[in-house]
Structure formats: C-alpha cells, structure tokens
Amino acid sequence: MREKPGIQHIISINDLDRSAIDTLLDEAKVIQQATSIERSLDGKIVALLFFEPSTRTRMSFAAALSRLGGTSISVDSIEGSSISKGETLADTIRVVSGYVDAIVLRHPCEGAARLASEFASVPVINAGDGAGQHPSQTLLDLYTIREAMPLDGIDVGLLGDLRYGRTAHSLAHALSNYDVRLHTIAPNGLELPANLVEQLKEQNTEICEYDSMEEILPELDVLYVTRIQRERFPDMASYAAVAESYRVTPEALGDVKESLAILHPLPRAGEIDPRVDALPYARYFEQAQNGIPIRMAMLQKVML
Amino acid sequence: MSDCEPRGLLIRPIRNGTVIDHITPGEAINVIRILGITGTTSECLSIATNVNSKFSGTKDIVKIENRELSKEEVDRIALIAPHATINIIREYQVIGKIGVEIPSVVSGVIRCPNPGCISNSNEPIKSRFAFNNGKLRCLYCDARISTDIASHII
C-alpha cells in the first residue's frame, strides 16, 4: 500500500524539513498572537483514535480542534473498539475515514500511524505510536525553545532516560535541522542509542556525551529533562540512587546562563525539584500550554 | 536418465531456467530463501558453494530449472549478493544476462527486528525497508539493520 496522493499527513518529525517545521511554528505563533480565533475548521469532524492511554495529548487535540470550530469523536481504548473483536487497524482506519475529515491516532505499535496513512482517505496525524514518533510533542518542544531563543547557534542538553525516551530522540532529530550542539547526560545503560548518535553525526550534528550534568550545565542554553523510569532498574535502591544524581534542583542551577530554558515533556516524577518551578528557567508548563497553538496549526495544515 | 542427473560436471548445464552465478560464498542458501524456494519445491534445483572462481577466489552458484526470474526477484538477491549475475537459459543457450541492482525499497523480504513494529502484527501489509549504503531502514518504525541482513529474511 502507498499513501493516497493529495492528502497531507503528519506522521514523523523526520518527514518534515527545516522549512516545513519553521512554517508550522510560524503558523502556531500567528494563532497564539491572534486576539480572536478564526473558526477555520467549522463543520469539520476529527476522529481521535486513542488505542493507548493518554490524557493530555488527547485533551489538547480536542481543545485545539474546538478552538478552531471543529468537532471531535473519539475512541479511548482498544477494549472499547472493534479492534478488541479482532478487526485490523487497517480496516478500522478505512471505515473511520468515511465518517470524518481527519484522524488523530495514538497506538501502542510503532509504525501504526504510517500504516494508517496508507489506508486512510483522510489526513492522519500521529499522536504517538508506541516508542516511535510523536511529532506534535517535538513541534511544541521546538516552539517553546524558539519562543525563548533562536534555534540556531545554541547548546542543548538532553538529560535523563535517553535510551527509551522517544521525545528526546525526536527532538534530537528535529534539532539536527538547525545549527545546534547537543550534549547528552544519561545514567549508565540509558544513553542515547548508538545508531541514533551515528545518524545525528551523519547529519553533521555536533554531539557530546556526559556522565553528570554539573560539568556541562553552565554551557547550556536549553536543558531538556526526561523521566527516568523505575522499571528500567533492577531494584528501588539503584533507581533512587540514579534518580537523585540526575535531579534538577535550584542548587544545581547555581552557575547556569541567565537565559537557560528548562523543558520537560511532562508528566514529571521527581526529576525536577518543585522549587525550580518558581525560577525563570522553568518553561515546562508554558511548554505544555504551547501544545494548543501547535496542534491547532497541525490540524489546519492537514485540513485546509 | 532424468534431467537432473549429474554427468560428471560439478553442476551440469540446464536446458531452460535461470543460473545465478558469482554469489557471495556461503550465501547460496539465503539466495534461495529470498526467492521463496523452499525444501519442498518441485523445481529441479542445483546448488554449489565455495566453487573456484577466476575472479573472486570462490563463489556460490544456483541453477533453477524451468523458472525464469523476474527483475524484481533478481534485485532482491542484491541485498546479500551484490555481485551476482543472472543468466536466463533457453535450450541450453544464454538468452539474457541480468546484473543485480540494489533496490531502493525492499518489500516483503525482510522481517523487522523490532517486535513492537506494526509490520510484525496481523495487519494486511508487507514489511517495507529502504536500502541505502548497505543498511536497511524499516519504513514503518525506522528500525535499522546494518549487519547480518540474511538473518532477517522472512
């Protein structure tokens, strides 16, 4: 199967070049600055097919659509869908395509959104496929950075579980479109996968690896923090030891640049001390809010 | 005497079919797997491995009677035997020689090594990989295969 021609999908951040990313970020900016929102998707219906739990991504897509005048219909789990009766995702997508003007899909299998785009007769937006792609998250990450500083000529630190954290992978890929130096800080065994490091280097992205954050923190313009998951460790004690040494605290931020922006895809689980929330570096709640204009821009891009 | 019986040559000439020559030594069995020829085939099949070669020291050869390979089938072989040559035989004469060309996209030949990939589920799709610089990339989940491609053949 191949995608039907003439339909715009947003499946992977890797499908977007720098110009396409910049255009989406510009459109999100226009939306965010507008004093009144044009109901450009009035009368459009979007299926939110969420075959995996997600609260904020689903809510923010629904909110973004409502702000543009569109209506959403949704499936919240595999149990509540025809997939639980043995239907393939391909058939589900073909059927739902007949009901709506676009599909927003979250699915536990990697590549599910790509498959959906091959069977859909309406645009598909990937809202996360397993450990794979989650382009709206990456776009809102980029948007948040760009709101604080230009995307070129900056030093970005990626901290936490960089082996399994898909948001860090996608952001690293997306940043390779810009003149960015990447600094990775990860516990032993949770480093950025070697093949990803290789790909980034092939794209001429400068990348340095560190064991601890102290040595590089003063150099950073952006610190992107990700969750270190307990299940990656053999026991609670070894998790607690690692989690503590990678925790961002006001004390650890003593020598950082004034303009440092700290981002986190949320939810957090202790990686960032709540006392950091009050510091000017904290951008993660603003980052979550930026999901609305970004998703509005994405919905408009595929349907207008 | 049956058509397949040896006549003193390592592999005797075939009357009609395909000869795949200059296969990377040791890859003949994988070439047959790529072509979808199983142990229960009714085709007369000859395989020679580590045969002396004037050009490359040793090589493998596969001869398949009464089957002319398509261009698509031939190109799949390039994944593991990029220097192979394919001779189409009719009435003992070589009527066509095809060099293998590495395809940019390989469909339905390789199983994705990522167990979480949608191409490993019951969906009505074939696996698809982009082939570039000797490496394969899953077009569904982006998983990479850079070594031992043969072990991922379906």
If one counts the domains in chain B, the total is: 2
Q: What is the dihedral angle through the alpha carbons of B82, B84, B89, B95, rounded to the nearest 10 degrees?
A: 70
Considering only A16-20, A134-138, B41-45, which range has the smallest mean pLDDT?
A: B41-45
Q: Which domain holds residue A212?
A: 136-289
Residues A185-244: pLDDT tens digits? 998 888 998 888 988 998 899 999 998 899 999 999 999 999 987 777 788 888 888 888
pLDDT at B9: 61
Q: How far is CA B120 from CA A135, A148, B60, B114, B117, in A?
A: 23, 42, 32, 8, 6
* Contact flag B123-A12 (C-beta cutoff 8 Å): no
Residue A18 sits in the same domain as residue A98? yes
CA distance A48 to A73: 6
Task: Give the distance from residue A259's alpha carbon to the nearest chain B alpha carbon, in angstroms.
Answer: 35
* Contact flag A109-B114 (C-beta cutoff 8 Å): no
Report the predicted TM-score, pTM, of the whole model to 2 decimal places.
Answer: 0.88
* Contact flag B116-A14 (C-beta cutoff 8 Å): no
Nearest CB to B119; choose among A111, A131, A133: A111
B8 pLDDT band, cuts 50/70/90, is low
Interface residue B105 vs chain A (CB under 8 A)? no
Residue A104 resides in a domain: yes
Residue B67 sits in the same domain as residue B132? no
Report percent pLDDT > 90 for chain B: 42
If one counts the domains in chain A, the total is: 2
Rg (CA), chain B: 17
pLDDT at B4: 52
* Contact flag B146-A108 (C-beta cutoff 8 Å): no
pLDDT at B74: 80
Residue A209 resides in a domain: yes
Residue A2 resides in a domain: no
Looking up residue A57, the CATH number of its domain turns out to be 3.40.50.1370
Q: What is the dihedral angle through the alpha carbons of A134, A194, A198, A117, rounded to the nearest 10 degrees?
A: -30
Residue (of A139, A121, A168, A112) closest to A57 by Cα position? A139
Looking up residue B23, the CATH number of its domain turns out to be 3.30.70.140
Residue B116's closest chain A neighbor by CA? A109
Residue A271 resides in a domain: yes
Residues of B in contact with A114 (CB under 8 A): 118, 139-141
Residues A234-284: pLDDT tens digits? 888 888 888 888 899 999 999 999 999 999 999 998 899 999 999 999 999
Tell me: pLDDT of A171 over 90: yes
Nearest CB to A114; choose among B114, B140, B146: B140
Active site residues of A: 56-57, 85, 106, 134
Tell me: pLDDT of B78 over 90: no
Q: Which two tokens stand for residue B151?
A: 């072990």
Best A83, A105, A109, A166 residue to mutate vs chain B (most B CBs within 10 Å): A109
Residue A269 resides in a domain: yes
pLDDT at B6: 47
B1 pLDDT band, cuts 50/70/90, is very low
Residue A193 sits in the same domain as residue A54? no
Task: Give the distance from residue A14's alpha carbon to the nearest chain B alpha carbon, in angstroms.
Answer: 10
Residue B6 resides in a domain: no
Residue A91 sits in the same domain as residue A229? no
Best B110, B123, B127 residue to mutate vs chain A (most A CBs within 10 Å): B123
Residues of B in contact with A132 (CB under 8 A): 141-142
Residues of A in contact with B114 (CB under 8 A): 110
Name every residue in A having a CB less than 8 A away from some CB of B: 1, 12, 14, 88-90, 107-112, 114-115, 118, 129-133, 195
Residues A21-39: pLDDT tens digits? 999 999 999 999 998 888 9
pLDDT at A260: 98
Tell me: pLDDT of A124 over 90: yes
Task: Give the distance from residue B102's alpha carbon to the nearest chain A alpha carbon, in angstroms.
Answer: 21
Q: Which two tokens stand for residue B49?
A: 């491995």
* Contact flag A115-B140 (C-beta cutoff 8 Å): yes
Report percent pLDDT > 70 for chain A: 98
How far is C-alpha A133 from the chain's CA centre? 8
Residue A40 sits in the same domain as residue A22? yes
Residue A110 resides in a domain: yes
Task: Give the distance from residue B108's alpha carbon to the nearest chain A alpha carbon, in angstroms.
Answer: 12
Task: Give the distance from residue B27's alpha carbon to the nearest chain A alpha carbon, in angstroms.
Answer: 26
Residue B47 sits in the same domain as residue B70? yes
Residue A141 sits in the same domain as residue A279? yes
Q: How far is CA A185 from CA A162, A178, A217, B113, B136, in A?
A: 8, 20, 10, 28, 29
Q: How far is CA A157 from CA A43, A56, A200, A224, A261, in A?
A: 43, 25, 15, 6, 10
* Contact flag A132-B125 (C-beta cutoff 8 Å): no
Residue A167 sits in the same domain as residue A237? yes
Best A84, A110, A118 residue to mutate vs chain B (most B CBs within 10 Å): A110
Residue (of A52, A49, A53) closest to A75 by Cα position? A49
Mean of the pLDDT values across residues B66-81? 82
pLDDT at B11: 74
Residue B95 sits in the same domain as residue B117? no
Residue A5 resides in a domain: no
Residue A129's closest chain B neighbor by CA? B141
pLDDT at A233: 79
Q: Which domain holds residue B41?
A: 17-99
Residue A172 resides in a domain: yes
Task: Give the distance from residue A275's alpha carbon to the nearest chain B alpha carbon, in angstroms.
Answer: 38
* Contact flag B116-A195 (C-beta cutoff 8 Å): no
pLDDT at A12: 95
